[in-house]
Amino acid sequence: MALGLYFAAPKNLKNFVLMITGLLFYAWGEPKYVLILMISCAIDYAAGLLINRFDSRPKIRTLFLIVSVTMNLGLLSVFKYGSFAIQSLNGFFGLSLTDPHLPLPVGISFFTFQSMSYTIDLYRRKIGVQKNPVSFCAYVTMFPQIVAGPIVRYSDVAEELDSKKVSLDGISEGIALFVKGLSKKVLLANSVGELWAVVKAYDYSKMSAAIAWVGIIAFAFQIYFDFSGYSDMAVGLGRMMGFHFPQNFDHPYESHSVSEFWRRWHITLGSWFRSYVYIPLGGNRKGKFRTLCNLMITWALTGLWHGADWNFVLWGLYFGLLICAEKLWLGEALKKLPGILSAAYTLIAVLFGWVLFETDSLSECLSYIKAMLGLTGNAGDRNDLYLLGSYGLVLAACLLLSTSVFDRVLTKLKSVRPNTIAVSVPFAELAALLLCTIYLIDSTYNPFLYFRF
């Protein structure tokens, strides 16, 4: 319906339709928190006008930037980190502060970062001011990616906000991307997620090593196909509407180092932290020690961005330490290894990281890792074999489709038999769409993992 209204609207009203549909889409899931979204828009729109107005007065420009960043981070802190801060203070200092238990507005981490990047880039004079409040709100509230990314910077869509071109080619490309993402989410992430749900319910102290590894591999596939699937759907919807959103994933499980993995996973978030945290801290320009400190600060904040819990902070620090090690010596050592060994190291390191990310406490994390290391004394039983057999086909499909092999084969076929592929692809997309629809009607298991961030 939203797309129909957008396509039917005259060119000069498309941004208005985009803004209204974005607010309605957000209100569908979070009606009382639409006000937070509107406040975020108002803060950064006004700050942008004032930064532009006082372009020749550095101190005043800086003041309005500080106001924008402080108010955005203030909203994020109150609603996402308020309970975490109160619980931590109560635990560390024996206090009895009252926790209001404010519900987390869906996607607040995404839209605050997106909106805030506008004022920062404007302050840096990398973009021009947006004087039209409707166009600015349309940028922040775009319904395809407002709740789970990718994080779209204003510079990514500035020209298209003012002069977007909706074309049949764009709609065709967008549909293909949307169906691809929906299939990843519904047919792969949901299916393999059911396996992880079963394993997660086990008693970790009695779990066999085989099931522990299969379980965390299942979660690794679930979170990849869930998030990359949503990103593909968002990019596809944007393409239909004349926008080119940035790519958010690039086959991360093919990486040969942890540093490479994070250049391929959630690309827009990594780019955001690099541009607005790591480089302003000094990046790698102030010596090795400062570089390592800057990396650790950036990764601690990256972990905290993902969730208001010490597990997430430790998860960020874990990857920060691995990337620091690769900066110091490990990266060069990995380059000398056969590709299969460096890829195996990376995958194992990432899987241990996912344990820390997904378990509910540090004690659960340690128990699960003990099971992975075979320290529970459980060699497995028939139930384990049954579980592996039941989900073997899904795991094999996830393994294949998480790599670039399928894409390379399809590209090759397009060059060899272009006419056959051109005719077959639409039918394949329709079949995938029908399968997804049947699955959604029949299944009650349909979580979006990154909605909680």
Residue-wise pLDDT tens digits, 6-37? 877 788 888 898 888 888 888 876 677 888 88
Question: Which range of residues forms the domain containing residue 18?
Answer: 2-164
Model confidence, pTM: 0.91
The 3-class secondary structure across the chain, one letter per residue, is CHHHHHHHCCHHHHHHHHHHHHHHHHHHHCHHHHHHHHHHHHHHHHHHHHHHHCCCCHHHHHHHHHHHHHHHHHHHHHHHHHHHHHHHHHHHHCCCCCCCCCCCCCCHHHHHHHHHHHHHHHHCCCCCCCCCHHHHHHHHHCCCCCCCCCCCCHHHHHHHHHHCCCCHHHHHHHHHHHHHHHHHHHHHHHHHHHHHHHHHCCCHHHCCHHHHHHHHHHHHHHHHHHHHHHHHHHHHHHHHCCCCCCCCCCCHHHCCCHHHHHHHCCHHHHHHHHHHHHHHHCCCCCCHHHHHHHHHHHHHHHHHHHCCCHHHHHHHHHHHHHHHHHHHHHHHHHHHCCHHHHHHHHHHHHHHHHHHHHCCCHHHHHHHHHHHCCCCCCCCCHHHHHHHHHHHHHHHHHHHHCCCHHHHHHHHHHHHCHHHHHHHHHHHHHHHHHHHHHHHHHCCCCCCHHHHC
pLDDT per position as a tens digit, 59-73? 999 999 999 999 999
Say how far apart CA 149 and CA 11 lie, in whole Å: 25
Domain boundary among 164, 197, 215: 164
* Residue 256 is among the residues annotated as catalytic for this protein: no
For residue 449, tell me if it sits in a domain.
Answer: no
Q: What is the pLDDT of residue 453?
A: 55
- In the chain, the percentage of residues whose pLDDT exceeds 90 is 52
Identify whether 42 is part of a domain.
yes
Q: Which of these is catalytic: 244, 251, 256, 306? A: 306
Q: What is the pLDDT of residue 272?
A: 94
pLDDT at 87 over 70: yes
Q: Are residues 310 and 360 in the same domain?
A: yes
Q: Say if residue 148 is in the same domain as residue 216.
A: no
| 176 and 154, same domain (yes or no) | no
Final residue before a domain boundary, out of 144, 164, 184: 164
Residue 285 covered by a domain = yes
The per-residue pLDDT for range 308-319, each reduced to its tens digit, is: 888 999 999 999
Tens digits of residue pLDDT in 214-250: 999 999 999 999 999 999 999 999 999 989 999 999 9
Same domain, 27 and 155: yes
Does residue 450 fall inside a structural domain?
no
Closest CA to 325 of 295, 355, 290, 283: 295
Distance CA 185, CA 280 (A): 36
Which pLDDT score, from 0 to 100, does residue 423 have? 67
Residue 343: pLDDT over 90: yes
137 and 186: one domain? Answer: no
Asked whether residue 324 is assigned to any structural domain, the reply reads: yes
Mark whether 22 and 154 lie in a shared domain. Answer: yes
Domain assignment of residue 453, yes or no: no
Give yes or no: residues 282 and 254 share one domain. Answer: yes
Question: In terms of Cα–Cα distance, which of 181, 187, 272, 183 is closest to 235?
Answer: 181
Domains held by the chain: number: 2
**Spatial separation of the C-alpha atoms in residues 213 and 219, rounded to whole Å:** 10
Average pLDDT over residues 316-340: 93
Cα distance between residue 11 and residue 177, in whole Å: 24
Does residue 451 sit within a domain?
no
Same domain, 263 and 365: yes
Are 228 and 307 in the same domain?
yes
Evaluate if residue 451 carries a pLDDT over 60.
Answer: no
Q: What is the pLDDT of residue 351?
A: 97
Are residues 30 and 90 both part of a single domain? yes
401 and 307 share one domain: yes
Q: Report if residue 448 sits inside a domain.
A: no
pLDDT of residue 138 exceeding 80: yes
294 and 423 fall within a common domain: yes
The last residue of a domain, from among 122, 138, 164: 164
pLDDT of residue 260: 96
